[in-house]
Amino acid sequence: DGGITQSPKYLFRKEGQNVTLSCEQNLNHDAMYWYRQDPGQGLRLIYYSQIVNDFQKGDIAEGYSVSREKKESFPLTVTSAQKNPTAFYLCASSIDLGGQYSPMNTEAFFGQGTRLTVV
Amino acid sequence: AQSVTQPDIHITVSEGASLELRCNYSYGATPYLFWYVQSPGQGLQLLLKYFSGDTLVQGIKGFEAEFKRSQSSFNLRKPSVHWSDAAEYFCAVVRINSGGSNYKLTFGKGTLLTVNP
């Protein structure tokens, strides 16, 4: 079955350490996204990528980094510069970023999330 | 700035009762609208979407939503709620600029639905 796989489901990190969250999709989608979810805050966009080797900052990119070396993969690194990294992280993908005549391509498909806790 | 407002943080209904979850957006042009549902500790699942055409859209699990341009709203409804509908619901809007290349998907802060037996 096609879908998005995030791993691990739970992740613990010591303060000062970098940690990388995995996101893989087999939907053949061009666009991929990372969101952060905090209670009562909804989803906030960290980074997104519309094509291999290209990515853009979202609303809360500080303290995070990404790479897009393969179409299927979009890993997120939470660096030690992120002041409050404890959160639920969601990866998503869509056919592409859409356009004036193809808005339906923006429909986002989500992974099951990774809960990161700093200890 | 584009925004999505879900006025109700938490709603409690009895099983079998009707449900309406509110969503308002602020955006000048026609937005593209989505409703997602999230069970605890899980990802988001798409319930329904509106791009154009008929303003009343049907989704999965018996949900429907109506786009009202005059009220800048896209409220989610269900005639009879089941206990399994207890979850958090998110409204989202995407804007695509005239050049077709700028992407912005914005989520509301969510409405938590509790269903009493």
Question: Per-residue pLDDT tens for B35-83?
Answer: 999 998 899 999 999 988 889 999 999 999 999 999 999 999 999 999 9
Nearest-by-CA chain A residue for B112: A40
A111 Cβ under 8 Å from any chain B Cβ: yes
Q: List Cβ neighbours of B18 (8 Å cut-off, separation of 6 or more).
A: B77, B78, B79, B80, B81
State the pLDDT at residue B28: 63
What confidence tens digit (pLDDT) does each residue in A21-69 have?
999 999 999 999 999 999 888 899 999 999 999 999 998 999 999 999 9
In the chain, the amino acid numbered B60 is I
For residue A113 the two structure tokens come to: 């999330």
B94 Cβ under 8 Å from any chain A Cβ: yes
The radius of gyration of chain A's CA atoms, rounded to the nearest angstrom, is 14
Q: Give the E-state strand segments of A1-119 in sequence order.
A: 4-7, 10-13, 19-25, 31-38, 42-51, 54-57, 64-66, 76-78, 87-94, 109-110, 114-118
- In sequence order, the β-bridge partners of residue B79 are none
Q: Are A91 and A4 in contact (CB under 8 A)?
A: yes
